[in-house]
Amino acid sequence: PFNTDKGQHILKNPGVVNAIVEKSALKSTDTVLEVGPGTGNLTVKMLEVAKTVIACEIDPRMIAEVNKRVMGTPLQTKLQVNGGDVMKMEWPFFDVCVANLPYQISSPFVQKLLLHRPLPRYAVLMFQKEFADRLVARPGDKDYSRLSVNVQLLAKVEMLMKVKRTEFRPPPKVDSAVVRIAPKNPPPPVNFVEWEGLLRLCFMRKNKTLSAIFKLSNVIEIIEDNYRKVCSFKNKPVPKDLNMKQVIEDTLTASGYAEGRARKMRVEDFLALLLAFNKADIHFL
C-alpha cells in the first residue's frame, strides 16, 4: 500500500509522534505547515494544539486518508490540505513548519525553507540520520561540511532526537533524526553567490590549509579572472605587473587564516575571510 519512491514510511510509535509534537512547542495561534502528512498521525496531534495546519501532500490516496480522519470532528475546520509537490507549489504563510519529510527532498527543502519570506519561527524536521548529523555538525566534528556552514550561516540548528528505523512502517534502510532549524531573523547581510563560491574553494580539500588551496593554479586563475572583471567594472587600472598569487597570499596572511583549515573554521571565520578578500578586490563570482 505504501510507495517508498515517495518516501512513504509511516511513523508507527505514538510515543515518537507525541514527542515530535511536544518538542515543536506549538501555540494555539500558530499556523503550521506540514509536508507529507501521510495518513495523518502527526497532523491530528498538531490540529489539537495549533490554530491551523496546512498539509502539503503529493499522493491523492494520502490526501483522502488524512481528510477522512478529521471528517465530522471539530478538527476538520482547522485543516487545509494542499495537493501537489511541495517543491513546486507556492508556499502559504506559516509560523512553524513540522514534517516527517521524504528523504530525497531534504537538501532542496532546507534551502527553500531558508529562502522563504516571511521567515518562519522555526522548523522541526525529520531527516535521515546522516543528513541530520551534517546539519548540526560543529567545527572540528567529522561530519562538518559545506552543508553545515551554509545552513548555520542562516539558522540555529539543534538535534532534538534520534529515531530508529524500526519506528516506521515499512522501515526505511537507515535511521532518522529530528532537527530544529530556527532561521536567524534578520539574516546576516552576505552576498550568497560569493559566500557559496568561497566555501566551494575552502571545502575543496577540507583538511588542507587555505594557503595550500589558494596556491593551486586553477584557483588563482579563477580569482584573477574575477579580479580583472571587478577592476573593469570599477574603472580601476589593473597593475601591469599583477602577481595574483602574491596578492592572494598576502591577503590570506594578513587575515590570519593562511594556516586555517575549513573543517575547523566557524561561520564567523568564513565571514571574516570573505570580508578580507573583498577589501582587496578579490571576489568569488
Q: Does residue 59 bind ligand SAM (CB under 6 A)?
A: yes
Q: Does residue 105 bind ligand SAM (CB under 6 A)?
A: yes
Q: Does residue 22 bind ligand SAM (CB under 6 A)?
A: no
Q: Does residue 85 bind ligand SAM (CB under 6 A)?
A: yes
Choose between 101 and 282: whose C-beta lies nearer to ligand SAM.
101
The footprint of ligand SAM on residues 211-240 (CB under 6 A) is: none
Q: Does residue 62 bind ligand SAM (CB under 6 A)?
A: yes
Choose between 26 and 248: whose C-beta lies nearer to ligand SAM.
26
Choose between 180 and 261: whose C-beta lies nearer to ligand SAM.
180
Give the residue, chosen from 102, 120, 197, 260, that forms a contact with ligand SAM under the rule CB under 6 A.
102
Instruction: Please tell me the distance from the alpha carbon of residue 128 to that of residue 93, in angstroms, as a whole number.
Output: 27
Q: Does residue 64 bind ligand SAM (CB under 6 A)?
A: no
Give the residue, chosen from 24, 31, 100, 148, that forms a contact with ligand SAM under the rule CB under 6 A.
100
Choose between 21 and 114: whose C-beta lies nearer to ligand SAM.
21
- DSSP letter at 159 equals E
Instruction: Print burial letters for 198-218: b (CB count within 10 Å at least 16), e (below 16).
Output: bbebbbeeeebbbbebbeeee
Q: Find residue 32's DSSP bridge partners.
A: 53, 96
Q: Does residue 41 bind ligand SAM (CB under 6 A)?
A: yes
Cα-to-chain-centroid distance, residue 211 = 29
CA distances from 267 to 109, 150, 188, 240, 252 (A): 21, 8, 11, 36, 17
User: What angle do the packed helices 146-154 and 106-115 form, to 10 degrees?
Assistant: 30
Q: At 282, list the grid cell.
A: 578579490
**Which of 94, 98, 110 lies closest to 160 in space, CA to CA?**
98
Choose between 42 and 96: whose C-beta lies nearer to ligand SAM.
42
Positions touching ligand SAM (CB under 6 A) are 6-11, 35-38, 41-42, 56-59, 62, 85-87, 100, 102, 105
